[in-house]
Amino acid sequence: MAPSYSSGLNTPESELESIIPPHPTSARRPYSIAVQSENTSYSDEYITSKFTHRGAEVVVQDGQYLVKPTAKPFEFQTNRKVSKTGLLMIGLGGNNGSTLCAAVLANRHNIVWHTKEGVQQPNYIGSMLRASTVRLGADPVTGKDVHVPVSDVLPMVHPNDLVLGGWDISGLPLDQAMKRAQVLNYDLQRQVAPFMAELGKPLPSIYYPDFIAANQEARADNLIPGTDKQAHLEHIRADIRKFKKDNDLDRVVVFWTANTERYSDIIPGVNDTADNLLAAIKSSHSEVSPSTLFAVAAILEGEPFVNGAPQNTFVPGVVELAEREKSFIGGDDLKTGQTKLKSVFAEFLVNAGIKPLSIASYNHLGNNDGHNLSAERQFKSKEISKSSVVDDMVAANALLYKPGKAGAAKGTKEAKGEHPDHVIVIKYIPAVGDSKRAIDEYYSEIFCGGRSTINIFNECEDSLLATPLILDLTILTELLTRVKYRDASASDEFKPLYSVLSLLSYMLKAPLVKPGTDVVNSLNRQRNALEAFLKACIGLEGSSDLLLETRIW
């Protein structure tokens, strides 16, 4: 076997195959974690684990908190065969789509390029799966923590193996689209251009001018003809089937990385149920957006759909349709720089007992995303996704923020409760290109009426932060389609996870969750949830920072 990361086990590598049967498909490197426990078993097809989900039920009675610990046994079954996976991006020729294709090709062909700092190797820095680690436990001899790449916890798709394709309203070939985006270093563009040219041009897409900014019309030269939305739906479904068949794929992840749309109006009888939405598509109703149409196409084809933009693609009818078809959806809006930092920093302040009174966020950027967002209705979609990121942290601390009053009129200040003033500004400045500039001011109340002001300036190359997130979301989505669970106390049959993949929240600004459940925006909680789930699938408890062995005799 090839060298593996230290597992802290006393089992020689020569004996590992007696614990873990050989992987059923050729892998880039052997699956190197062997859990020696009655809770974990390995077969040629599955990793099966037993896991106890521990929580607590809390009842408030006469000012007293009555807490009842709970424990519910589950079993997880993960198919070890990694699907041959295709990634179909809507917006393939945009900054994110062209950058992702070029980066994967550079890694796949090990292209090195020269910069003013020296020679640059291709990598996947920025990918949580490929460039961060998870703690498995401690070495029994040295007591040192043992960490492994997150991508090693369970069998996952390698990004180099993704089959790439997609749609775009611009028909520019991908080598030229990469040049237009002005994201990557020239020497890399020069070397990767022949491979990009082999990918050809994007498939024709759908263009409903009412949903994106008027300034995008000049790019719209690669369109599925007509205005019949049912015909458009069938065309997209046929594209997905053909891509899957032509490339002999097991799984296709459909990913919206195109322009931000305006919000769709939620209209009873139009998009509030699955049947109403399907009827609205047949009648070509004006409130059926392009992203919703793509989502419906993926759902009906049984393939996962992820929304990387802030609009409300997942109207209630889409969620109901995904539930009915047992398909997977996830979103919304990639969480890259400023918002990711805000979710960490606001949590830090609130958890430290400091009360943010206002958060003012200013952005300017010069890429096509910024151009589209210069239109008011498209900006409004982004404003909504960015502004909700602190809500759960505020709601968790009734010592700092007075909660809303029960029975108060919906939408009023009394119903919402106390909340920091939160203002977001985005301006389009062409000169800075893909280098987005963000300034945040946190104005807070501190001890005995004092005030604290913290200003943060954040500059990031937008698409180079977004691209690894698209890869992570795609790879995690494919993995979650291979995980099944059952209630161990009821001896149920194994069944798929719920259709809304809330475990993707770590990479998303406005996480979509199961209706009726709370949204978690805290970055630490999102990361911990994902790590705990991956570990549960191999029969391990989530990480504990109690480190009890260091605190007792």
Residues designated catalytic: 333, 382, 436, 509
Q: Report phi then psi at 533, rounded to 5.
A: -65, -45
Measured between alpha carbons, how far is 422 from 440 in angstroms, rounded to an integer? 11
Are the beta carbons of 309 and 386 closer than 8 angstroms?
A: no
Label residue 59 exposed, middle or buried (CB < 10 Å: 0-12, 13-18, 19+).
exposed
Q: Tell whether the torsion through CA atoms of 236, 241, 247 and 249 is positive or negative.
A: positive
Q: What DSSP string describes 5-27?
A: --------GGGHHHHSPPPSS--
Are the beta carbons of 366 and 427 closer than 8 angstroms?
A: no
Strands 118-120 and 113-115, by their bridges, are antiparallel
Measured between alpha carbons, how far is 381 from 389 in angstroms, rounded to an integer? 14
Contacts with 256 (C-beta within 8 Å, 6 or more apart), sequence order: 89, 90, 91, 291, 294, 295, 305, 306, 307, 308, 309, 313, 331
Contacts with 531 (C-beta within 8 Å, 6 or more apart), sequence order: 134, 150, 542, 543
At 74, is the secondary structure helix, strand, or coil? strand
Q: Which residue, 390, 393, 370, is CA-closest to 382?
A: 370
List 90's β-bridge partners, or say none: 167, 256
> Cα–Cα distances in Å, from 336 out to 227, 433, 527?
35, 17, 14
Q: What DSSP string describes 88-132?
A: EEETTTSHHHHHHHHHHHHHHTT--EEETTEEE----TT-HHHH-
Contacts with 159 (C-beta within 8 Å, 6 or more apart), sequence order: 104, 107, 124, 127, 130, 471, 475
Are the beta carbons of 258 and 372 closer than 8 angstroms?
A: no
